[in-house]
Every structure is written in structure tokens, then in C-alpha cells.
Structure 1
Amino acid sequence: MTHAFVEIHGRSGAPVTLHVVQAGPADGPLMILLHGFPEFWYGWKKQIGPLAEAGYRVWVPDQRGYNRSDKPDGIGAYTVDVLAADVVELIDAAGQQKAIVVGHDWGAAVAWWVAATHPERVERLVVLNVPHPAVMKQYASRNIGQMLRSWYIGFFQLPVIPELMAKLGNRAMLVRTLRGSSRPGTFSDDDIHEYKQAWSQPGAFRAMVNWYRAALQRPPAHALSIRITVPTLLIWGVRDQFLKRDMAQPSIDLCDNGTVFFFETATHWVQHEEPERVSELIIEGG
């Protein structure tokens, strides 16, 4: 692995520099792995090697606001349109027309949006434990069970308080998020040390929470093309405490060429818990 810093124009205004871990042959098919909350590039550490060995040119950014990437001020810097534009600009920076886009959690939400709004830039799509945005919107607003699971999104809308609680508690709430919702032993003490270093970067936690604030306070300016036309694989850990399995099949029903693969004993952190099989599925494309 090599660590690089890639400057992109930044749709929200000023240029933004993203920290990107890179691996694999320079002439291999480009694959971009997008992490979610509260992770950073490290969330894909068990996939980078196998994917590179399979011949892919793997780029794994710290998405804007996270770890060593820039952390622009303001909620408007973290809208889903801006986040998707970052991915397109990374494809440009790699000198490619298309990429295989893989995402987990918030990274999956961004990946869905890239495929919906820029299908010509996506070779194929792999998403882990996040539904199609139209399905998520429907369930989050009408399904009581999903509304209860998504309570934290409302909490993150509060000004200042989430940041203050995280600081006073030494990020204990984030540790609980990882360890309390995963299979025992999934996240080691060494892993937690790496995460705490990333969370402690100046301005990181506020930027991470601003993703959630932007989702509700700055919705997309244009309508989403609801059909996903690129080949799509949805990987789902069934024991997810945050997102209901019920949303998986309706998401695939909105894809012209889609497949869903369930891990019955995995949680929301499926790529950590079933790393070998998840890597195989990403390579196989379903």
C-alpha cells in the first residue's frame, strides 16, 4: 500500500485534498472503496490486499471530513451531491473513465448516488448493508421499526451537543457503536487505537456528524433517477442493528441487473466479520 494525497476541485467551493490509500497494478481496473461512519480507509484493511492481488487498481480514500483528508467548514460541504462528485473527480484523477465503486454504510449511500446520477462513470456497483436511497427514504419515514433504529440521525441534528459529548467521553460513544453492534472480537484493541487516532484529528468529529446534518438539512437539489442501470451487488449482514433486512430486496428490485447476498450471522460490519468471502464476492461481482 502507498499513501497519496489527491487534490480535487471540490463541488462545494474550494479545492479539497483527499488522503487516498492505493494498491495494486497501475494498469488494473480501477476500484474505489468508500468507507462509512465512523470509519476511515482502515475499514477496508482486510479487502485491500486480496483485491490488489486479484489485479485491481485499488483506491481507498478517507472521504472528506475523515482522518487525514480535508475537513471543510459548514454543512453544505457534505451534501450527497458533493460527496458523489468527489468520487467522480477521483476517477478523473486516476485517468479513468469508469471505476468499480464499492461502499459500506455512508460509503454505500454515496456509491448508490454515484451510480444513480453518474451511471456512465460506474463499471459496476457493490454496496454493503445500505439500501437504495429511495427505499431508505420510504422506510425511514413510514416504518416504525426502521425509525426506531435510526434514532441517532435525529440526535446528530442537534448543534454542538454531539461534538461535546464525544469530546468529554473520549469518543466512548463511537467505540460503543463499533463494539456494541458487531460480533464479539471483531474490533481489537489495536483497531480501536487506530480509530481513536482518526477521530481525534482536528475537526474530524464535527465533519463526520455534518454528513448526517446535510442529509436532512440540505437534501439533493435534483430528483434522483430511481432505476440503477449498472450491474449491482448488494451484500447484507442480516444481524444489522441499524438497518432492517426488509430493505434489501426492494433495493435490488430497483436495479436493472442486481443481486443480493445475505450473511445470516453477520452484522452491519460484514466486511470485518466475513472478510474472505466479502472480498471474493467483490471480485466475482455476485
Structure 2
Amino acid sequence: MSVTESSTPTTGNTVTNTDASLLSDPAVESTYRNINDVQLHVVTAGDPDAPLVVLLHGHPDFWYGWRNQIRALVKADFRVVVPDQRGCNLSDAPDGIDAYRQSKLVADVRELIRSEGRESAHIIGHDFGGFVAWNVALRHPSMVDRLGIFNVPHPTVYRDTLRSSPQQIARSWYVWFYQVPKLPEWMLARKDMANMVDSLEITSNPGTFDEETITWYKSAWRHTGIRPRINWYRGFRRSDSPPRDTVTQPTLICWGEDDIALLPSVAEKSVDYCDDGRLQMFPDASHWVHHERDEVSEALCRHLS
């Protein structure tokens, strides 16, 4: 595994300004790291010797979704590392579904931690990035100091709820739709990705994503196209279950109660799979709770400190 730092990726893709320059902060930098034969775009900030925090975005997000937490964590004296996960924004998008199994995404996080010269880190995940965070903690517990999860259930809870709850099956309709070959890519890419924009606006409170922010998101989606993001869900269906159910690390679960895709009960059940877990519910907040409530960053800093 090698690490490269530069101002542009070494791929032949055209570079858009969806790198760290979006924050207009010279202390926040873009790097490009060759990890597991994939080049990842990684945004970094904070003292390189400070405690390490890795932030993992979900779908249809990219590193920029963590901008509020980057500022808060650096102010609280943490080193922050935020990858565009494989298939997203300025990172490479390998072909095929198997490249997006949980084992691959987890291996990326493991090697990213090592690229910082560390053996472990605090891991925080939202949405699909939360599934990756859960899996890192369950598959490689010694590499996770503390765990933070935003609006995604423990993998066992999600699986069991899908088997038993017609309500959750209905809310997860898109997961089944994404398994269909080719059609989801066509549906999400048509009309200048109008359905992708809808997925942001429908699942969030009014005003969470303003016009400028949506412009950045559309630029990020164009860079790799839609298929790699859909392959996250196809790869998830092909992934092996983690080797254990219980998370041993201190775990904070922050949950926007108005999440339209997930039942609130899955948040409560997920705490039962944590030896040292705490759930903080946020009324009147959506699936994008870390965008909408400053208290999330405050709770996260307290948890990690």
C-alpha cells in the first residue's frame, strides 16, 4: 500500500472542484491515496498527531456531507480523515459488483487508517457509510477506538427487521429496485439526475440542501456516474455477515426521528447489540440529522473525548 499526496488525481478523468477547495479553508486538504489497488480521494484536516477520526459518507453523499463535523472535530483537537469511498466523487470506481462488497469497503477503511501511520481510529458513519462503520467494528474490533453511527441500524437488526416488518420492507423499496440490472442507472441519470436530487430533497427537511449545495452534489455524481453507487447496494446483498453481532467499543447512535426510510424502532434495537451503547434521538430531524442539527456535532465531540 502506498500513499500519494498531490493537487490532482493521476487518473485521466476531468477534475471538478468538488475537492477540499469547496470549504475555502487552506487547513483542509485533498490527498489521493492508492489503497487496495484503488485511488481514493481523501480530505484531511487537523494536527496529524492528534487522535484520529475517520468519517464515512453514505448514498448519495460524498465527503462534503461531513463539512460541519470536520470543522467541529478539528476545533476539538482531532485529526479528521474523510474519504470519498470507492465509486464516489473523485475516488476511483472499479468495475463490477464484487468490488463493492462490504469486505472491500471495510478493507479500504483499514488501509486508510494504516496510511495515517495508525493502528486504530474513531470511526463515524452515516447511511450506507454507517453499515461500513458497523462492519469495521465487527470484523476488526481492535482497529476501532470509539464508534459513531448516524441513521443506519446495526446489520443484524436491519436484516431481522426486513424479515419481520412489512413497514420496513415498504420503506426499503429502493434497495430491491437497485438490484434490477441497468434500469436504476437509467432512471437516476435521466433528466440531469432529477431523481437523485429528489432523493436528497424528499429525505431531508426543507432547506437542508440549497441550490448551490445541489450543484456540488451533481458535480460529484457526474464524476464517476451512477452505477458504482448502485453497486454498493448490489454488493451489500452479496456480502457475508460479520463474524459477530455485538459491538464492544463505546458507541453513540444519533438518529433523526423523521427518517422516511427507516423505522425508529431499529435505532432502539441497535443499542441492544452494543456492550456500551447510547442512543440520542433528534425530534423533527430527518435522515440527514448531521446536516440539520448542530447538537449532533456537539454530541459526537463529547463521545470521542
TM-score, normalization by structure 2? 0.89
Alpha-carbon shift at residue 223 of structure 1 (Å) = 4.7
**SS of residue in 1 equivalent to 2:254:** strand
Give the corresponding residue for 1:284: 302
Does 2:117 align with 1:100? no
| Aligned counterpart, 1:31 | 53
- Distance in 2 (CA, whole Å) between partners of 1:187 and 1:168 is 20
What is the SS of the residue equivalent to 1:171?
helix
- Deviation of residue 201 (structure 1)? 1.0
User: Post-superposition shift, 1:168?
Assistant: 1.9
Q: Choose the corresponding residue for 1:236, options 236, 243, 255.
A: 255
Contact 2:139 2:242 in 1 (8 A): no
Is the CA contact (8 Å cut-off) linking 2:189 and 2:195 kept in structure 1? no
Q: Distance in 2 between matches of 1:22 and 1:79?
A: 25
**Aligned position for 1:262:** 281
Amino acid paired to 2:49: D
One-letter code aligned to 2:236: A
1:12-51 to structure 2, matched below 5 A, reads 15-51=37-73
Rounded Cα–Cα distance in structure 1 between residues aligned with 2:190 and 2:172? 24
1: distance between equivalents of 2:192 and 2:30? 27
- TM (norm. structure 1) is 0.95
Instruction: State the Cα distance separating 1:53 from its structure 2 match.
Output: 1.2
Matched, 1:124 2:146: yes
Q: 2:102 matched to 1:83?
A: no
Question: 187, 198, 202: which one pairs with 1:176?
Answer: 198
Of the three residues 268, 271, 282, the one matched with 2:290 is 271
Give yes or no for the alignment of 1:2 onto 2:29: yes
User: What whole-Å deviation, never above 9, does each CA across 1:151-202 have from its counterpart, x for those lacking one?
Assistant: 0011111111111122222111111111112111010000000000001114
1:126-141 matches, within 5 Å, as: 126-141=148-163
- SS of structure 2 residue aligned to 1:285: helix
Q: In structure 1, the residue corresponding to 2:246 is in which secondary structure?
A: coil
Q: Equivalences for 1:46-61 in 2 at 5 Å?
A: 46-61=68-83
Superposed CA deviations along residues 24-73 of structure 1, whole A, max 9, x for unmatched, are 11111000000000000011011111111111000000000000001000
> What's the secondary structure of 2:299's corresponding residue?
helix
Q: Distance in 2 between matches of 1:105 and 1:224?
A: 21
TM-superposed CA distance for 1:277, in Å, is 1.0
Aligned residue in 1 for 2:7: none
Stretches (4+) displaced over 3 A: none
Q: Which residue of 1 aligns with 2:167?
A: 145
Q: Residue 131 of structure 1 aligns to which amino acid in structure 2?
A: P
Instruction: Report 1:190-201 matches (<5 A).
Output: 190-201=212-223
Structure 1 vs Structure 2: percent identity of aligned residues?
A: 45
* Distance in 1 between residues matched to 2:99 and 2:299, nearest whole Å: 33
Query: In structure 1, what is the Cα distance between the partners aligned to 2:133 and 2:279?
Result: 16
Could you say which residue in structure 2 is the equivalent of 1:219? Answer: 239
Q: For the residues of structure 2 that align with 1:219 and 1:126, how far apart are their CA atoms?
A: 22
The aligned residue for residue 160 of structure 1 is 182
Q: Which runs of 5+ in 2 are unaligned?
A: 1-27
For 1:60 and 1:264, the matched residues in 2 are separated by 27
Letter in 2 for 1:280: E
Question: How far did 1:214 drift?
Answer: 1.1
- Root-mean-square deviation (Å): 1.0
Shift of 1:219: 2.2
Unaligned runs of 5+ in 1: none
Per-residue displacement from partner, 1:64-104 (whole Å, max 9, x unpaired)? 00000010000000001111111111000000011000000
Residue-pair matches, total: 277
